[in-house]
Each structure stands twice: as structure tokens, then as C-alpha cells.
Amino acid sequence: MNILVLNCGSSSVKFQIIETDIPLIEKDKDRRLAGGLIERVVGQALITLQVEGGAKIRETAPLRDHRAAIDYILKWITSPESKISNITTLSDIHAVGHRVVHGGERFTMSVLLDGPVIEQIEDSIDLAPLHNPANLKGINAARELLGPAIPQVAVFDTAFHSTMPETSYLYAIPYQLYRRHRIRRYGFHGTSHRYVAYRYRQLSHIKQEETNIITLHLGNGCSACAIKNGFSYDTSMGFTPLEGLVMGTRGGDMDPSIIDFIRHKEGMSVREIETMLNKQSGLLGISGLTNDMRELLAEEQEKQDRRAKLAIDIFCNRAKKYIGAYMAELGCAEAIVFTGGIGENSAIIRERICEGLSCMGISIDKKKNSEMIAGMEGEVSAEGSRLKVFVIPTNEELLIARDTVRTVKNVPRRW
């Protein structure tokens, strides 16, 4: 089956076409046929398109909204110029998989989209006002453009974490707030944590129920996950993606009293403070320079910039703290897995996070670590390290495509 994977953000649409099916999944022979990104939707959009193995095509076009962006993608996919193998008309797209950020407590697995499911996703908008509306725009546009005959599936960022026990997901605030408003930890990046846990199992030849690992997704957004017996047991993002690790522009953990203090001292509204915590904090906030880890590392090294160093140090220290906490929660973790743009590419950040953890049985082999970059996958722990340390590039799109096939064929899977 040819699956169109769509990931709609507030002003962007990412897509991939992946050829997959149950036998292909079993043999790990699924194939990415094409992909691309449309940025600055609503206005003069920047478009990047690529057929697998071909050069990147860059163009611009005035696109009014998400529907226009998806229409543009569909027209390109089926155009004779794109030359995507096996795709000439819309009927060659057999199903669509949508990334949906928040599934609330209702969606613990991927699900076929129909009227009632869409209504329930709409009901979760107040839980994810920054993300779910864009996901819904993508869903509605794709359903409209492709018609009812093509099945569409929602794959939720929160679903993998639905197995967390109450001890992990409840905040220690009055219990009725959970009962009345479902205020709890949901966790995000679930598709990424789930994918790298699956790859780790494959690479280590262990069963799902034997998988006791800590996964660190370090990209622009960052989160850690404690995986116990193959299931998410705890994760660092919370009610929203703001909690936990230091991220590109989000600060992660902090004392909630600071919000009212800032409101009072700076005369800002709670909404403005929330925007600041989401968009102007984290690496950007501390360094005052950038949210881009590459640039910060360069500033630190070439100009000895004190605040760039401080931002990186706080970033690494927070990740270290979570490793310690999750080691305690899991009791018997056997590996740490790094993924995401920083986790996959920055040997120095991996080294700084793992520095001083040999007493916990975590040691990195500097040479192996420095060579494991740019999409490579493998082990970087030192000989004799009790825990293995792995780098595994994430592939959320592949998992969304596979879940789409499994859901359409009624053989769904949670891990």
C-alpha cells in the first residue's frame, strides 16, 4: 500500500509517501518513495519536495491555507514530472496517516478517522490549543480532497504514554482537578520513543517485554521516557509539552509560582508569559542568542561565549537528572538511547550528558561516539559499560505509515 503521511503544524505541512504493508513491515522492507515540507503556509509558502534518491526541488507558491498546501502536495505527487514510482493518480494513494499531537485519555492507540472520532479530537482542543487545530485542518482537508473511499488514520503523540501508571501521570494537586478536568501528565513524542524502542529491540534481539530502557529525544523539543517491559512507564513532558527537559525555546521544569511573580513584576498577562515559556525560553532564553544547538556549540567553542556555555550546561545537566530519576524508577534499565536532531548528531552533547555517570554503569566510548553521526545507528558505550548507550535516528513517519496499514487491516499495535 502507498501511504501518505501528513504532519500539519500551525504554519507548515510535512509529508512522506511510504510504500508499506504487513509482509513488508515483517521483513523491514518498507520504502520511502517521496517526501517534502511546505513552510509559511498562509502567504508565499516555501516548498521543498524530493523523490527518493533524487535532488531536492525548492519552489515558492502563494498558498492560502492547509487545504491549499495539501492540494499542492497531491497535485505534485500525481504529476508526470514528479515520477514517483507506482503513483500516477490519486487512486494510487491507498490510505493517509495523520500525526495528531493530543489524543487525551480517549485515544490509547491509532484509530481510523470517522465523524465521531474527529468530534472527539475536536473535544481535545482545549488540551492542545497550539497543536490539535492544525492537525484537524489537515485531516479535514485530506478527507475533502481524497474523498471517503480512502481510509485515514490518526496516530497520536500521546498514545504510547497511555500505559503510564497513576504514580507517573498524576500531579500531586487536589485529586478532583484530575477528575473534573483530566489534569494529568499525558506526555508527547510518543511515536518517536516507541519507534526507537522498537529499533533497539531489533538491534539487541530482545523481546518487547524485556525492553527496559531510557530514551532521550533531543531535538527542538526534547523529552525523556522510561520504558519498562516495553511500555512507557514515565515521561518528562507533562500536561503540555512545556514540562521536563530544557528545549530549544521551552524551559522545561520550573516552579509554577514564577508565573504569578513575572505577571506582577513585568506586567505581563498569563497568556504572554505562556508564550514566553514556549517560544523565548530554553536554550534561546538562557543564551540570548539562538535555539540552535549547532550555533551554541560554535559560540561556546570559538568565542568562549559564557551564556552559550551556560545554556548547554543547563541543557545537559537537566538530561542527566532525568537519567538518574528514571534509573531509580526502572530499577534495572539496560540502555540509554539518544535520538532527535541533537541526540542523533551531536557526539559532544551525548558525551556531556553521560559524563560522570560511570558510577551508574554508564560510560561512553569517545571514538565510537564521535563517529556515530549523520543518520548512523549503533552502540556508543564503552567496553564494560553496564548500560549500553545507543544512537538511533528516529523515524516517526515510518511508524505512522505502519500504524496506518495495521489500523486499516485491523491488526493494530500499541508498541
Residue among 294 and 366 whose Cβ is closer to ligand ADP: 294
> Interface with ligand ADP includes 48 (CB under 6 A)?
no
Site for ligand ADP in 279-318 (CB under 6 A): 292-294, 297
Residue with cell string 527542538:
220
> Interface with ligand ADP includes 12 (CB under 6 A)?
no
Whether residue 234 lies in the annotated active site: no
Residue among 47 and 246 whose Cβ is closer to ligand ADP: 246
Q: Which of 157, 234, 292, 313 is catalytic?
A: 157
Contact assessment for residue 143 and residue 154, using Cβ atoms and an 8 Å cutoff = no
> Interface with ligand ADP includes 248 (CB under 6 A)?
yes
> Interface with ligand ADP includes 241 (CB under 6 A)?
no
> Interface with ligand ADP includes 346 (CB under 6 A)?
yes
Least gap, CB of 382 to ligand ADP (angstroms): 21
Write the DSSP symbol of residue 166. H
What's the Rg (C-alpha) of the chain?
Answer: 21
Can you tell me which of 132, 211, 287, 345 binds ligand ADP, judged by CB under 6 A?
A: 345
Query: Which of 387, 360, 358, 390 minimizes the C-alpha distance to 372?
Result: 390
Q: Which residue is nearest to ligand ADP (CB)?
A: 341
The greatest distance separating any two alpha carbons of the chain, rounded to the nearest whole angstrom, comes to: 61
Least gap, CB of 308 to ligand ADP (angstroms): 12
- C-alpha cell recorded at residue 266: 513585568
> Interface with ligand ADP includes 340 (CB under 6 A)?
yes
Residue with cell string 514517483:
84
Burial class (CB in 10 A: 0-12, 13-18, 19+), 229: middle
Residue among 99 and 228 whose Cβ is closer to ligand ADP: 99
Can you tell me which of 103, 187, 190, 221 binds ligand ADP, judged by CB under 6 A?
A: 221
Query: Which of 47, 39, 43 minimizes the C-alpha distance to 11?
Result: 39
Can you tell me which of 48, 220, 278, 280 binds ligand ADP, judged by CB under 6 A?
A: 220
Residue 265, CA distances (Å) to 156, 262, 282 in order: 39, 5, 21
Write the DSSP symbol of residue 411. -
Contact assessment for residue 378 and residue 339, using Cβ atoms and an 8 Å cutoff = no
Residue among 238 and 248 whose Cβ is closer to ligand ADP: 248
- How many whole angstroms from its chain centre is CA 74? 25
Residue among 116 and 375 whose Cβ is closer to ligand ADP: 375
Please state, in angstroms and rounded to a whole number, the distance separating the CA atoms of residues 213 and 197. Answer: 8
> Interface with ligand ADP includes 9 (CB under 6 A)?
no
Residue among 92 and 292 whose Cβ is closer to ligand ADP: 292
Residues forming the active site = 157
Note the residues at the interface with ligand ADP (CB under 6 A). 219-221, 248, 292-294, 297, 340-342, 345-346
